[in-house]
Amino acid sequence: MPLILTREDGPRRGAARAVFDPDVYPGKAEVRGDEISVNPGVTDGEDLRMACVQAMESALCQGFEAIRFSARDNLVTPEALAEAVKAAAPAFLENGWLSIYLHVPEPAPEEETAETVPKSGGWRQRLRRLFRRLVPAAGGGETPAPSPDRDEEEKDAFRSRLEEGFGPALDRLQREKGVSDGELCLRANMSRRTLARLREEKDYIPSRNGALALALGLGLSEPETRELLGRAGYVLSRSLLSDVILEDHLQKDTPDIYALNETLFRCGLPVLGPED
């Protein structure tokens, strides 16, 4: 079973899969579908930690809500990978940016003999100890059960710090720009069903490409686009060719999603399209 480094039940959408590939250029991350390939370097220490950071950053920039690391191959040992993920994960977990999963395969029967399992409990037990600071221990008899009233008070305190969400921000900008629903759907190359879902489901957040399409449909400037993306937890990054192209496109007087898609297509990059 995977060791989950988040208290959430799991991502609402698909997760990226980290792949260690020594042929990838060091310091870079290559994205192919839901796979993010990074070079693990010497497969331990600082090189491996930086590779994990690069994979996490790339997953965040690509709009993934989670990333999975696995020690199934021989490039990295379970212990080295656990240390690297443990060192790289806190910055992403503390801000709620990303859910991070670590999968450790079950050892083969011959690996569990007296000669290979240390008296300290084996490498699997050592892995669990590595994450004591990140994953609360289950079934701790000494920990008192939390009070429901106290939990609600804590949630209310967090909710009071929330800023305007993506849906309300989109409605406000649409009114300010004087754009009708039909015009927005046409300019954003998006179906009315997606727009209706944004209004009906309070917590619904579109994909990163969907949020970008809506920003272009409203004709937002670059600062306005960055602010709207931030309401959904997304960012623009100059480390991504598609975002550099988008940034250049936003400098034009009349940003057009169809013109942007032509440029993205010529550069061999995914275009912005309908959510469904």
Which residue range forms the structural domain that includes residue 95? 3-130
Do 109 and 173 fall into the same domain?
Answer: no
Domain assignment present for residue 15? The answer is yes
Do 174 and 125 fall into the same domain?
Answer: no
Q: Which helix (H) or strand (E) holds 35?
A: strand 35-38
Q: Which of 253, 275, 64 is nearest to 188 (CA)?
A: 275
Q: Which of 63, 91, 96, 95 is nearest to 229 (CA)?
A: 63
At residue 62 the predicted structure's pLDDT band, cuts being 50, 70 and 90, is: confident
Domain assignment present for residue 271? The answer is no
Domain boundary among 79, 108, 130: 130
Do 99 and 192 fall into the same domain?
Answer: no
Do 188 and 125 fall into the same domain?
Answer: no
At residue 80 the predicted structure's pLDDT band, cuts being 50, 70 and 90, is: confident
At residue 19 the predicted structure's pLDDT band, cuts being 50, 70 and 90, is: confident
Do 175 and 58 fall into the same domain?
Answer: no
Length of the chain: 276
What is the C-alpha separation between 30 and 40, in angstroms, rounded?
13
Do 117 and 204 fall into the same domain?
Answer: no
Q: What pLDDT is attached to residue 74?
A: 59
Q: Do residues 87 and 93 lie in contact, with contact meaning Cβ atoms separated by under 8 Å?
A: no
Higher pLDDT, 244 or 74: 244
Q: Report the predicted TM-score, pTM, of the whole model to 2 decimal places.
A: 0.43
Domain assignment present for residue 272? The answer is no
User: Into how many domains does the chain fold?
Assistant: 2
Q: Do residues 261 and 272 lie in contact, with contact meaning Cβ atoms separated by under 8 Å?
A: yes
Domain assignment present for residue 12? The answer is yes
Do 108 and 173 fall into the same domain?
Answer: no
Per-residue burial over 174-210, b if 16 or more Cβ lie within 10 Å, else e, is beeeebeeeebbebbbbeeebbeebeeeeeebbbbbb
CATH of the domain at 7: 3.40.220
Domain assignment present for residue 65? The answer is yes
Domain assignment present for residue 276? The answer is no
Do 108 and 186 fall into the same domain?
Answer: no
Range 150-159 average pLDDT: 76
Q: What pLDDT is attached to residue 57?
A: 86
Q: How many CB atoms lie within 10 A of CB 11?
A: 17
Q: What pLDDT is attached to residue 132?
A: 55
Provide the residue type at 110 as one letter.
E
Q: How many CA atoms lie within 13 A of 167 on its CB side?
A: 12
Range 85-110 average pLDDT: 71
Do 126 and 173 fall into the same domain?
Answer: no
Domain boundary among 78, 103, 130: 130
Is residue 134 pLDDT above 70, yes or no? Answer: no
Domain assignment present for residue 191? The answer is yes
Residue 126 burial (C-beta neighbours within 10 Å; 0-12, 13-18, 19+): middle
Domain boundary among 113, 130, 147: 130
Helices (H), 160-231: 166-177, 181-187, 192-200, 208-217, 222-231
Q: How many CB atoms lie within 10 A of CB 270?
A: 10
Residue 173 burial (C-beta neighbours within 10 Å; 0-12, 13-18, 19+): buried
Which tokens sit at 51?
């590779």
**C-alpha to C-alpha distances, 130 to 16, 87, 95, 175, nearest whole angstrom:** 23, 10, 21, 51
Is residue 75 pLDDT above 80, yes or no? Answer: no
**C-alpha to C-alpha distances, 149 to 40, 144, 207, nearest whole angstrom:** 47, 14, 35
At residue 46 the predicted structure's pLDDT band, cuts being 50, 70 and 90, is: confident
What is the C-alpha separation between 115 and 202, in angstroms, rounded?
56
**C-alpha to C-alpha distances, 269 to 55, 75, 197, nearest whole angstrom:** 19, 30, 27
Q: Which helix (H) or strand (E) holds 4?
A: strand 3-4
Do 180 and 122 fall into the same domain?
Answer: no
CATH of the domain at 212: 1.10.260
Domain assignment present for residue 26? The answer is yes
Higher pLDDT, 124 or 86: 86
Do 235 and 179 fall into the same domain?
Answer: yes
Is residue 203 pLDDT above 60, yes or no? Answer: yes
What is the C-alpha separation between 184 and 220, in angstroms, rounded?
12
Do 176 and 254 fall into the same domain?
Answer: yes
Range 242-262 average pLDDT: 84
Q: What pLDDT is attached to residue 138?
A: 44
Is residue 88 pLDDT above 70, yes or no? Answer: yes
